[in-house]
Amino acid sequence: MKLKIDKFVLSIVGTILIAYFFPQWGAPESKIPIDTISVVGISLIFFFYGLKLNPTQLKAGLKNWRLHLLVQSATFLMFPLLVLLFRPLIMNEEQETIWLAFFFLAALPSTVSSSVVMVSMAKGNIPAAIFNASISGIIGIAITPLWMGLFVNDAQTDFDFTGIYLKLIGQIILPVVLGLLLQRFLGEFVHKHSSKLTLFDKSIILLIIYKSFAESFNGHIFSAVSLLDLGAIFVGVIFLFIMAFFITGFISKKLKMNTEDQITAQFCGTKKSLVHGTVFSKILFGNMASVGIILLPLMLFHGTQILIITIVASKLAKRKEVHL
């Protein structure tokens, strides 16, 4: 099978290189209003998300409660608990930052688009995938800050729950609600221009990534991270994904779920949203110089999950029997 490198992954790599060579564009004194563009862009992303949400499908999806419980438990409980196991191994401030980056990755919700696409490719339960991926993003708005609040104070970061939730309400929840209310008027427009809106979403994500890494390069944060640490981060990302994938698959089999539901559980329960990650990093960590490091495991995880799940989905798509 010929593997295709995801263009968005290549765009992320290119964005980081631009941030390395031209960090001045993301500096506080820069005349380019990246922060303002990012805030407006984030609100528009979730406004369009609200326009695309299908309330009917969400209501219908409630019936398969065992699958939903497994997916959401894997996303918001299993992942953080796996990373928590390694907290006693922290020996210095640098390792604390790297561990916090992994915990941030673990506390994030699942991603919508790639989850549904991959489940569809593998001939899984598509309605359940749509339900779980959609509801995960909503749950994450409440759960992710709660998880991070347990440990971010240790990193000497100003973590004000009131301010954070006000930002989340203003930049995410209200735009989603507004999108839902205007769905009957603009829903058709959104679906017609879905590919262009996806390009807009990715552009805003890349802008946030650029800003985060530019600030980190300006602050020489990565000079404290050795090649050995980078290698360890990459290995840790692969280990975390494989553990989550097999644990979710094992539990789904023990619950005697059918093949389609097992696929959905594994594919949706092991994904992490780069959209929510970049947005939440901006809200939760503000202008921390180490935001680039905080996002590093997430971006490596994003590329890893796409590569591995694509291979698995392609193989499952060719199956003749309804067993994994």
Q: Each residue of 290-323: pLDDT tens digit?
A: 677 888 899 888 888 877 887 888 788 777 654 4
pLDDT score recorded for residue 127: 77
pLDDT score recorded for residue 323: 43
- Which residue, among 88, 133, 104, has the nearest Cα to 212 in the 3D structure? 104
d(CA 52, CA 247): 31
d(CA 53, CA 71): 19
CA atoms within 13 A on the CB side of 96: 10
**Is residue 1 pLDDT above 60, yes or no?**
no
pLDDT score recorded for residue 75: 96
Sign of the alpha-carbon dihedral angle for 146, 152, 154, 157? negative
pLDDT score recorded for residue 322: 44
**Is residue 245 pLDDT above 90, yes or no?**
yes
Read off the pLDDT band of 324 (50, 70, 90). Answer: very low
* Residue ranges per structural domain of the chain: 7-317
CATH class (in words) of the domain with range 7-317 = mainly alpha
d(CA 315, CA 173): 38
Q: In the predicted model, what is the mean pLDDT of the chain? A: 83
pLDDT tens per residue across span 82-123: 999 999 988 888 888 889 999 999 999 988 666 777 787 788
**Average pLDDT of 8-23?**
88
pLDDT tens per residue across span 149-183: 888 764 445 556 677 778 778 887 888 889 989 98
